[in-house]
Amino acid sequence: MPAKCPVSILWQILFVVFVPILDLWAFYRIKKLQRYLLYIYLPQLIIGGIIAGFILSTLFEDGSLDRLENFSDYLQGNDLVLIVSNIVLGLGFTIFSIYLISIWSEKWHKQFANS
């Protein structure tokens, strides 16, 4: 159930950063879950699909399954790129989530201050 009073911005940020499932609850509490899913989860799914598609297309580009059998050998040459891209994307989405929860929680507080 959404909160009926002001929420702690610090706790909201902690939920977003440190507890994976509670980020959804934090945004639900301030009635912004749909926007959060649209701004954060949907782009993550799209980018993840693009990366997975790229990896799979490079594995099967010659039409054989030889690369699939040697997948770990193939990744050893490209693992640094994947690791760095995952860290950068994950950090970017986390920072954007912190920004959204702090801005939207402030608006949630103002709603009760005006009442």
> What residue ranges do the domains of the chain occupy?
9-102
Please give the Cα distance from 19 to 1 (Å, whole number).
19
Is residue 9's pLDDT more than 70?
A: yes
Please give the Cα distance from 111 to 52 (Å, whole number).
42
pLDDT single digits (tens) 24-54: 999 999 999 999 999 999 999 999 888 888 7
Sign of CA dihedral 95, 96, 100, 106: positive
100 contact partners, CB below 8 Å, separation of at least 6: 27, 32, 35, 36, 39, 40
Q: What is the CA 97 to chain-centroid distance, rounded?
A: 8
Q: Which of 13, 21, 34 is nearest to 97 (CA)?
A: 13
Q: What is the CA 63 to chain-centroid distance, rounded?
A: 33
Is residue 115's pLDDT more than 80?
A: no
Query: What percent of the chain is predicted at pLDDT more than 90?
Result: 50
- Please tell me the total number of residues recorded for the chain in this structure: 115
